[in-house]
Structure 1
Amino acid sequence: MTVTLNAHQLGRLLERTVGHIGDEALPMLHGVLLEADATYLYAVATDRYTLAVARYRHHGLDGTPFARTLPARALPALRRWLTCLPGHDPVTLTLTGHKARLAAPQGEMSLTTDDAQEYIDWRGLLRGIIKQTENSDGTETACPVLDTDKISRFGAADTRLRMWVSPGRTAALLAGEDFIGAQMPMRTMESGFPTSLADDLDHLHTLWDATLTSALAGTEPVSGVLARYTVPGASRTVAGITKDLLHQTMRSTRDLFEEDGDSPTALAAHAASGVTAWSAYRYLEALHRADPKLAAQVVAETAGELDSGELGEFAYDAAHAAGFNPQSWEDNTETKTKTGPAAPVSVTDDAPVSDSDTATS
């Protein structure tokens, strides 16, 4: 029984589920269950209060579907081993008896699996939660109160999760891209909240109505503040920036062909804008496929940099850190502005900055 996927994706399966592992008092839940079918490799963990299931479409299953539990005691070493591998390296997981062997181009690792005890029927549990849409007697039900400490365990699952709340004191369902999970609510006596939905809403209105319906004298509407300080196109999600980049590519291409040709500068600007937007889209697409979490982080950080407006300073510092001589670029541009076109920048202008260059600049 063998399955293959890359090191990054196997590490991410573990990252998204290890926070839900049960304690040592429940040996059968004290680890991560790995299951493979013809399409996906699944990682499953539960502590009875939360349940997390992550999946990834593997590169191929050689043999019959399998299910084995990786014990919690072995997971730290396994996760450290995976971080030492290039993310794109293929990792082949082979199960033989109670042994799990992981083989990569740069090394191998062997683990003993805890499969003596039967794991819970996580599929059946989730099916039951999904089907729960109303109370059997048709009565209105209370909103469940969720423990935020347990909610935080889903932080590694995705940048966004959609949540459905089933009626009664049953579990909340959470879903993301190739991820599904559930969380049980707190008991009413523990939560301190009223027991009925109507009481919950009435209590919330009582606490917040005055604040939410009043405005301080002389303040701007929120929409006005956002319009003034938000940089157009500075999306903070991968989906948003992907849309912006594709739109910009199409717009620049259209403007390029609609130019009358009398302005070489305008033609060059449209061409540069389209090429840059398309290149950024392709790089972001590749990053998102390789590491969705890192892609989301980079997009958010970039949006903050765009909001600051200090792109020139950022670029100068980045060029210097990369070993180039950005001061020579500035000098060349200034000379060209004052005296007309200058000689092309030589190869030495892009050489790493020497100590003397640094002192001069």
Structure 2
Amino acid sequence: MSVTLPDLPTIIRQLTPHIGTDETLPVLNGIYLEATGTHLYACATDRYTFALTRRKAPETTQDTWSAVIARTDLTALRALCPTRRHAAELTLTHDRPTTRTPDGSLTVSDGTRSLRLSANAPLAGHFPKWRPLFATALAAEPQLTEEAHYSAAFLARWAHAPTNRYEPLTTWSAGPRKPLLVAAGHDFLGLQMPIRHDDRPGAPDDERHDRTALRTTWTDTLNAIAATSRHLTAA
């Protein structure tokens, strides 16, 4: 099956920050692709954040496939479709595993040049089941009535989610220990797991991050009345 995409560089940019780097989990060391006949889905995760995006297929087909583009292949793929160049349509052609190519292959072509990559079929078959995770998070009502803690470094990853600089992010969570759901437009979803902090009663204020501790440490500053300033006058 072949799928033509006008914005493959955008998909790569959206997902690259979420690719896992733990070499003991090779299934997470790349971008997962899944073609359903109506859409192409692409996602990446390192278990702390999970990014998912979709593109509608130009034509509906009955053919379905999945593949993983390894992180090590992204450099060659970026060279084929540099983001500084005028956007060009790229065609992804998937070839199923055979005796000679047990991993299957994925060919990316811009009409004049082509790049053949491993489809990494064994890894694709073990990629995390993303549908239940996102279905649960998307269905949950916002219930963040207590403070939640998130990694600032992980939050920065979502800066790559919007397709343009004016597109806002929409976020909500079903609770402080539930994933934060992030949406950019209608074709990008993300999940970020919260950080668990020590919330034992009696913990030192400088080790606590709840609202009570913050109000205590900031009250004097925010409620202070500015002293009357003195000005120098000419003799």
Cα 1:31–1:215 shift into 2, 3 Å:
farther
User: Greater Rg, structure 1 or structure 2?
Assistant: 1
Larger RCO (alpha carbons 8 Å, 6+ apart) = 2
Q: Over residues 220-261 of structure 1, what are the superposed CA-to-partner deviations in whole Å (9 max), with x where a residue is unaligned?
A: xxxxxxxxxxxxxxxxxxxxxxxxxxxxxxxxxxxxxxxxxx
Q: Over residues 313-352 of structure 1, what are the superposed CA-to-partner deviations in whole Å (9 max), with x where a residue is unaligned?
A: xxxxxxxxxxxxxxxxxxxxxxxxxxxxxxxxxxxxxxxx
Match of 2:158 in 1: 154
Cα 1:101–1:211 shift into 2, 3 Å:
same
Match of 1:183 in 2: 192
| Aligned residue-pair number | 207
Q: How does 1:1-361 map to 2 (within 5 A)?
A: 1-6=1-6, 9-23=7-21, 24-83=23-82, 86-97=85-96, 98-117=104-123, 118-133=126-141, 142-158=146-162, 159=165, 160-177=168-185, 178-189=187-198, 192-194=207-209, 200-212=210-222
Cα 1:82–1:168 shift into 2, 3 Å:
same
Aligned amino acid, residue 36 of structure 2: D
Shift of 1:127: 1.5
Cα 1:141–1:154 shift into 2, 3 Å:
same
Aligned amino acid, residue 2 of structure 1: S
Shift of 1:121: 0.8
SS of residue in 2 equivalent to 1:45: strand
Structure 2 unaligned residues grouped into runs of 5+: 97-103, 200-205, 229-235
Aligned amino acid, residue 120 of structure 1: P
Match of 1:231 in 2: none
Higher share in strand: 2
Match of 1:265 in 2: none
Cα 1:80–1:192 shift into 2, 3 Å:
farther
- For the Cα contact (< 8 Å) 2:142–2:172, is it kept in 1? no
Q: TM-score, normalised by structure 1?
A: 0.52
Shift of 1:185: 0.9
Structure 1 unaligned residues grouped into runs of 5+: 195-199, 219-361
Shift of 1:82: 0.7
SS of residue in 2 equivalent to 1:188: coil
Q: CA RMSD in A?
A: 2.8
Q: TM-score, normalised by structure 2?
A: 0.77
Match of 1:289 in 2: none
- For the Cα contact (< 8 Å) 2:142–2:173, is it kept in 1? no
- For the Cα contact (< 8 Å) 1:4–1:61, is it kept in 2? no
Aligned amino acid, residue 71 of structure 1: A
SS of residue in 2 equivalent to 1:153: helix
